[in-house]
Amino acid sequence: GGGGGGGLASSITATHAARAGGSITAEHRRRLRNLIVGGDANLDLVLLMLNSEPKLAREPLGVGGSTAMHFAAGVGAGKIIVQLLARGCRADEANEVGATPWHYAEREGHLHLRKLLGGAAGAMAGAAAGSGAAARTA
């Protein structure tokens, strides 16, 4: 739902303003991950966080080295993926188990993201880096 988004935006802005120049914390990673998992409906809030802390776009957001791209692909958030790509994120980057964002998109049935994520080519890069467990691990 749309209610409360302003409060969250204020919280995000205040958090980033208060720590100006500080390091990225586990809390920042968790907040971004949760916003991304909410899908494209949270695009404005995701952009607010990424504009405040650009490095966060390429940081691992969870256990296993999955990045914002992995999480966005898993929920089919194409608009978020476009913004991540524009910020230099790679569609073919594998996490610690060798899974690329395309693995997660395909597993969850988001086949409309094939062209955006490189489809089979992206999956091949991940397969070369990992094992068959990649397709079963989030």
Question: Which pLDDT band holds residue 21 (cuts at 50, 70, 90)?
Answer: low
Asked whether the predicted pLDDT for residue 82 surpasses 80, the reply is: yes
Neighbours of 21 (CB within 10 A): 4
Asked whether the predicted pLDDT for residue 14 surpasses 70, the reply is: no
Mean pLDDT to the nearest integer, 10-39 = 76
Asked whether the predicted pLDDT for residue 3 surpasses 50, the reply is: no
Q: Please provide the DSSP assignment of 22-84 as one string.
A: ----HHHHHHHHHHHHT-GGGHHHHHHHHHH-GGGGGS--STTS--HHHHHHHTT-HHHHHHH
Question: Which pLDDT band holds residue 44 (cuts at 50, 70, 90)?
Answer: very high
- Better-predicted residue by pLDDT, 71 or 23: 71
Taking CA atoms, 8 is separated from 12, 31, 48, 74, in Å, by 6, 10, 11, 23
Domains of the chain with CATH codes: 5-136 (1.25.40.20)
Contact of 94 with 131, CB cutoff 8 Å: no
Asked whether the predicted pLDDT for residue 13 surpasses 50, the reply is: yes
Asked whether the predicted pLDDT for residue 1 surpasses 50, the reply is: no
- Better-predicted residue by pLDDT, 18 or 8: 8
Nearest residue to 16 via CA among 43, 48, 47: 48
